[in-house]
Structure 1
Amino acid sequence: MSEKLLHNFNKSISDLRKDVQELGDRTAHMENRMGEYAEAHNDMADHVQHLEQELSACQNKLMDLEDRSRRHNIRFRGIPEAIKQADIAAHLTDLFKTLAPDLPADVLLFDRAHRVMKPKFLPEEAPRDILACLHYYHAKEALMQASRWRKDLPAPYNTIQLYSDLSARTLQKRREFKAITDALRLHDMPYRWGHPVRLLIHKNGVINTITTPEEGKKALKKWGIPFLPSTHPRQDNQQHPTKLHSDWKKQRAGGRD
């Protein structure tokens, strides 16, 4: 009786060891596979990050090319809708002569001029902008510069504003600098925009180039200028893949270290 009981006990122990061995082998196989999956995922995460950088570089290049194709354009805001399409050319010609009287008439030429869709932020009663393509770039720059300094234009030109024609991506990226430019204007610090998107700040006879909002914050802190965060902070909803790491300790087959 005791021999039979011992035999059954030994057999049960042997079967249990066999089950544990099989379970250990399966666990080791799963751990190895999970390690391979983690390595493959991390390689993919690195590749995705590289692709994101390349995509950003391509988008910036495309943005620069689009802005260059618009560099002869001027956007006129505030010209009443009463000025019909047939009268736009004459109205702009008179505006050019009033704004920059020293420029000869033969350089104040434009290839086309027409109304464009109204930006969403303008009130409903505001007239649509007029987009004009100047034939000579230096004439366009002279008009833009004159519009910045001349504040004594007679009616009906005293309510007209001139803007550069920029791509939507450029305008979006410039809005990220709004808190920086607000602080600069508040402290009467001159600045201008560079290409593709950078701030050129004049400080003590030196031009400081700012390429990111973070650089702008550091510069303001260095100059002792208070920084007021934007009331509309940029929301970065882009999800970046995160890397995996092994949070277990591998076991040898059989379940023992």
Structure 2
Amino acid sequence: MILSTCSNGVRELRDRFSSLNSRVGKVEKNYDKSAARLTTLEEKIADLEDRSRRDNVRIMNLPESVEAANLTTYITGSLPVWFPSLSDVKPEIMRAHRIGPPNNSGRPRTVIMKMLRYTDRDSILRAFRKSPIKVDGKDVRFAADYSAFTMNRRRSFMEVTNKSQKMGFQTFLLYPAQLKLMRGSTQHVFKSPLEVEDFLNGLATQENEEG
């Protein structure tokens, strides 16, 4: 009698455990689906925001002491001086402003320029890649303006980008967040830093074995 009762109890516990496992499995599947949907929505929202910013240029480390009263006027007059190749193109700036309130950190606030055309933005970025500039002894950088979501994804490639360059690859960060590697006549495109890391590790192992 006692043995039968224990057996029934064990069977009942086993059934409950099996049912619980099944429920957990369903919850995990639903979670994975929800996470995938959330990622898709985030990517779509980021893409919309990126499109709204595609005429923008970010200027980093531009000293605040140089612009006098009107930032837009200052940059409009300075672009042909910084980049003589733009003298014929004459990019048109609709407006320019610095991000955030003045601060006492000594670090210049980032400038956002709204160009009349996205082709003007591309012309400026191409000119900067060919001819980096200094203003009052400071290295000034120009970059496209992306949403925070896209910026974070692009930043995640920084470490593997540096590693790739040390291994002799030319690196190109493609929109929205893919890394293109070129060495010799071969090229590779990766969608995540982990893919790049695995590729570089495998390549290093292969080259060590061959060497």
Aligned 8 A contact 1:99 1:146 in 2: no
Aligned 8 A contact 1:100 1:142 in 2: no
1:70 to 2:53 alignment:
yes
Q: 2:30 aligns with which of 42, 47, 51?
A: 47
Amino acid aligned to 1:75: R
Q: Distance in 2 between matches of 1:221 and 1:38?
A: 38
Where does structure 1 lack aligned partners over 5 or more consecutive residues?
1-16, 226-257
Aligned runs of 1:1-257 on 2, under 5 Å? 17=1, 19-83=2-66, 86-103=69-86, 107-117=90-100, 124-151=105-132, 153=133, 155-156=135-136, 159-187=139-167, 189-221=169-201, 223-224=203-204
Give the C-alpha shift of residue 117 in structure 1: 3.0
Where does structure 2 lack aligned partners over 5 or more consecutive residues?
206-211
RMSD of Structure 2 on Structure 1 (CA): 2.9
Q: Distance in 2 between matches of 1:102 and 1:115?
A: 26
**What SS does the corresponding residue of 1:46 show, helix, strand or coil?**
helix
Give the C-alpha shift of residue 97 in structure 1: 1.3
Q: TM-score, normalised by structure 2?
A: 0.81
Aligned-residue sequence identity (percent) comes to: 20
Q: Residue 44 and residue 139 in structure 1: after superposition, are their counterparts in 2 closer, same or farther (change >3 A)?
A: same
Give the C-alpha shift of residue 70 in structure 1: 1.6
Amino acid aligned to 1:198: Q
User: Relative contact order: is structure 1 or structure 2 higher (C-alpha 8 Å, sep ≥ 6)?
Assistant: 1
Tell which structure's C-alpha radius of gyration is larger. Answer: 1
Structure with greater proportional helix content: 2
Q: How many residues align?
A: 204
Q: Distance in 2 between matches of 1:39 and 1:31?
A: 12
Q: TM-score, normalised by structure 1?
A: 0.68
